[in-house]
Amino acid sequence: MISANDRVVRMVYTRTQTSVIRSHAKWNLTLEEFWEVWRPHWEGREKRQLKLMQRDERLPYQIGNVYIGSLRARNAAYSKLSRERLRGRACECCFGIDFQEIYQRAEMQGAHVDHIVALALGGKHCAKNLQILSIEQHLIKTAADMRAIALARRGRGIGNRRLLKPY
């Protein structure tokens, strides 16, 4: 049974703390708190490329603002965010907030992340506009979004020849 006092746990704690402080973020986690967060994910952390992550990068590394996330899910969430920023569809209110947790939760449930108000209908890429839907629910939602987009375009005389994907 591994505990917070395990040699490897203490080593990873020190290494993480050092790199966080070097990156000028605030570190408010004790060894015991660090271990509480890590414990359910410790097995296979190397293989699954898991990492301690911040929910809001403006706040310190502390209980409530940290979770264990996968680098793969984070990269997916970040590339989505930078795409939507380029298109002017990212919000301003979530600056610094990590969206990857919702993408990771969806991935673990075999579900999808959906924009409640579709991006093509003026919805923003914003935490408040994201929800997790099962694949089946998402298909139904997408069909409804597509109909609404077609209607909106017809209203503007654009026609529905080239429907944008609403997510």
Binding site for Zn ion (CB under 5 A): 91, 93-94, 126
CB of 142 to Zn ion, least distance (A): 22
Closer to Zn ion by CB, 96 or 159: give it. Answer: 96
Reference 120, options 96, 84, 94, 93; nearest CA is 84
Q: Are 73 and 113 in contact (CB under 8 A)?
A: no
Beta strand extents in 9-63 (DSSP E only) = 50-54
CB of 97 to Zn ion, least distance (A): 7
CB of 22 to Zn ion, least distance (A): 29
CB of 126 to Zn ion, least distance (A): 3
Q: Are 114 and 138 in contact (CB under 8 A)?
A: yes
* Burial class of residue 23 (count of CB atoms within 10 Å of its CB; 0-12, 13-18, 19+): exposed
Where is 106: in which H helix or E strand?
helix 100-109
Q: Are 99 and 115 in contact (CB under 8 A)?
A: no
Closer to Zn ion by CB, 69 or 123: give it. Answer: 123
Closer to Zn ion by CB, 10 or 89: give it. Answer: 89
Closer to Zn ion by CB, 18 or 79: give it. Answer: 79
Closer to Zn ion by CB, 12 or 97: give it. Answer: 97
CB of 154 to Zn ion, least distance (A): 30
